[in-house]
C-alpha cells in the first residue's frame, strides 16, 4: 500500500511539473510578430480624401492697369477659388494681361487652347477680334464667355458655346445724361440756354464708348435740352489722357464749357485735376460725370468734386461671368446675353 501511495505521489508531482512547464513557455518565448499586409484597409481616420476634380479656366484681360478691370479680375478670381471651388471641384484660374495689344492677346488665347483649358473668359482688346477668338475656340471645342466688351450679335451667334456677360452701355450713357438733366439748371451752368459739353471718349472702336457717347447726349435732347458739342477726343480709358484732354478743352473754350462727359471714371479723375488747374469748381461753374463708380470717384461725388458717376457693377458681372462659365463647362444651353444693370450715383 505504501509503495502504491508513493507511485501515485510521483505521478502527481510529474503531472504538475509538466503543466507548469507548459504555462511558463509563453512567458519565456517571445510571440511571433503578427503578419501585416499592404492590402489591409486603413482605419477611417487615416483614409485619404478623394481628389477634387480640377477645372482650368483661362481669363484674358485687355490690360491689367485699367482701374475697373483690376476690380473685376480680382473679384472673378476670388469668386472662382473661394465660392465655387467646393463640392469636389477645384477651379484653377489663369489670368493674363493683354497689355492693350490685340496680337498679344490672340497669342494668349492660342496658349490657352494649346493647354486645353476647359473654358475661356475673354475681355477683348478690340471688339472686332471676337470672330477670330470664336473661330479658334470652336475648332478646339472650348466654350468662350466674353466680358465687358460686347461682340456683335453675328459673332455671338456663330456658335452655341459663346455668350456675353456685361452691362448695357446705352443705359450707362443714358444715366449720365439724366444726371445732368436733373441738376437745378439742367446742365446749363453759364445760363446761355445751351448745354455746351466736352466729350472724353474711351476707345472709339469699343461699343461701350460709342454707346456712352451717343446716349449721354441723347438723354439731354430727349429731355428737351439744347446741346452743343465743343470738343470730342479719345482718351483710351486712361487717367493721364483724361487730364490732358480736359485741360486742352478748358484752355480752348474756357467758361463756355458747361459739362464734361467722360466714358469712364479713370478719365474723369484726370478731368478733376484739369478742372482745378483751370480755376473751375465742380457744382459751382461746371459739371463732371463718369462711369464705373470707382471708390475714389464715389468719394468725390459725396464731397462735391464730381457731379455723379454710374455704377458698373464689377461684383455682379464677375459672378455672373463665372456662373455662365460653369454652365458652359457642364454643357448647359447658354443664352447669348447676360445683362447686369447700371446704377446712378449722385451722392
Q: How do the domains of the chain map onto residue ranges?
A: 53-166+314-340, 170-311
Which residue carries 435732347 as its cell?
Answer: 221
State the Cα–Cα distance between residues 42 and 44, nearest whole angstrom: 6
In the prediction, which pLDDT does 16 show?
43
Which triple of cell numbers denotes residue 178?
Answer: 439724366
Provide the residue-wise pLDDT of the chain in tens; the chain has 347 residues: 444 344 334 444 444 443 433 434 333 333 333 333 334 444 444 455 556 799 999 999 999 999 999 999 999 999 999 999 987 899 999 999 999 999 999 999 999 999 999 999 999 999 999 999 999 999 999 999 999 999 999 999 999 999 999 999 999 999 999 999 999 999 999 999 999 999 999 999 888 999 999 999 999 999 999 999 999 999 999 999 999 999 999 999 999 999 999 999 999 999 999 999 999 999 999 999 999 999 999 999 999 999 999 999 999 999 999 999 999 999 999 999 999 999 999 99
Which triple of cell numbers denotes residue 127?
Answer: 471688339
In the prediction, which pLDDT does 175 show?
98
Residue 324: closest CA among 57, 62, 125? 57
Other C-beta atoms lying within 10 Å of the C-beta of residue 201: 23
CATH number of 170-311: 3.40.50.2300
* C-alpha torsion sign, points 22, 27, 28, 34: positive
In the prediction, which pLDDT does 18 show?
39
Q: Which CATH architecture has domain 53-166+314-340?
A: 3-Layer(aba) Sandwich (3.40)
Residue 309: closest CA among 279, 277, 268, 276? 268
With left for phi above 0 and alpha for psi between -120 and 50, is residue 193 left, alpha or beta? left
State the Cα–Cα distance between residues 180 and 289, nearest whole angstrom: 8
In the prediction, which pLDDT does 25 show?
39
State the Cα–Cα distance between residues 257 and 250, nearest whole angstrom: 7
Reported pTM = 0.78
Q: Cα-flanking dihedrals φ and ψ of residue 249, to 5°?
A: -65, -45
In the prediction, which pLDDT does 71 show?
96
Burial, 112: exposed, middle or buried (Cβ in 10 Å; 0-12, 13-18, 19+)? buried
* C-alpha torsion sign, points 232, 236, 241, 246: positive
Q: What does the H/E/C string look like for the chain?
A: CHHHHHHHHHHHHHHHHHHHHHHHHHHHCCCCCCCCCCCCCCCHHHCCCCCCEEEEEEEEECCCCCHHHHHHHHHHHHHHHHHHCCCCEEEEEEEEECCCCHHHHHHHHHHHHHCCCCEEEECCCCHHHHHHHHHHHHHHCCCEEEECCCCCHHHHCCCCCEEEEECCHHHHHHHHHHHHHCCCCCCCCCCCCCEEEEEEECCCCCHHHHHHHHHHHHHHHHCCCCEEEEEEEECCCCHHHHHHHHHHHHHHHHHHCCEEEECCHHHHHHHHHHHHHCCCCECCCEEEECCECCHHHHHHHHHCCCCEEEECCHHHHHHHHHHHHHHHHCCCCCCCEEECCCEEECC
201 in Cβ contact with 234 (< 8 Å):
yes
Amino acid at each position: 500500500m505504501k509503495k502504491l501511495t508513493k507511485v501515485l505521489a510521483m505521478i502527481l508531482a510529474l503531472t504538475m511539473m509538466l503543466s507548469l512547464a507548459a504555462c511558463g513557455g509563453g512567458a519565456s518565448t517571445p510571440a511571433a510578430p503578427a503578419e501585416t499586409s499592404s492590402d489591409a484597409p486603413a482605419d477611417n481616420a487615416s483614409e485619404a480624401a478623394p481628389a477634387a476634380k480640377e477645372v482650368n479656366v483661362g481669363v484674358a484681360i485687355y490690360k491689367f492697369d485699367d482701374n475697373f478691370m483690376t476690380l473685376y479680375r480680382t473679384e472673378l478670381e476670388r469668386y472662382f477659388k473661394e465660392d465655387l471651388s467646393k463640392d469636389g471641384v477645384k477651379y484653377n484660374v489663369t489670368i493674363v494681361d493683354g497689355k492693350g495689344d490685340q496680337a498679344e492677346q490672340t497669342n494668349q488665347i492660342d496658349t490657352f487652347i494649346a493647354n486645353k483649358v476647359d473654358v475661356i473668359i475673354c475681355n477683348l482688346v478690340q471688339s472686332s477680334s471676337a470672330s477670330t477668338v470664336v473661330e479658334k475656340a470652336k475648332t478646339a471645342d472650348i466654350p468662350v464667355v466674353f466680358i465687358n466688351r460686347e461682340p456683335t450679335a453675328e459673332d455671338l451667334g456663330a456658335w452655341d458655346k459663346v455668350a456675353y456677360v456685361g452691362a448695357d452701355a446705352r443705359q450707362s450713357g443714358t444715366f449720365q445724361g439724366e444726371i445732368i438733366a436733373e441738376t437745378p439748371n439742367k446742365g446749363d451752368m453759364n445760363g446761355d440756354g445751351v448745354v455746351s459739353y466736352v466729350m472724353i471718349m474711351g476707345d472709339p472702336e469699343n461699343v461701350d464708348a460709342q454707346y456712352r457717347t451717343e446716349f449721354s447726349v441723347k438723354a439731354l435732347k430727349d429731355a428737351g435740352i439744347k446741346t452743343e458739342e465743343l470738343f470730342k477726343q479719345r482718351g483710351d480709358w486712361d487717367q493721364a489722357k483724361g487730364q490732358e484732354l480736359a485741360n486742352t478743352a478748358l484752355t480752348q473754350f474756357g467758361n463756355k464749357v458747361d459739362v464734361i462727359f467722360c466714358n469712364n471714371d479713370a478719365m474723369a479723375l484726370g478731368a478733376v485735376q484739369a478742372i482745378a488747374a483751370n480755376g473751375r469748381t465742380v457744382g459751382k461753374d461746371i459739371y463732371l460725370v463718369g462711369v464705373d463708380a470707382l471708390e475714389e470717384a464715389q468719394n468725390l461725388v459725396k464731397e462735391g468734386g464730381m457731379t455723379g458717376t454710374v455704377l458698373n457693377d464689377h461684383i455682379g458681372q464677375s459672378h455672373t461671368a463665372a456662373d455662365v462659365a460653369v454652365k458652359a463647362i457642364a454643357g448647359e444651353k447658354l443664352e447669348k446675353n447676360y445683362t447686369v444693370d447700371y446704377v446712378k450715383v449722385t451722392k
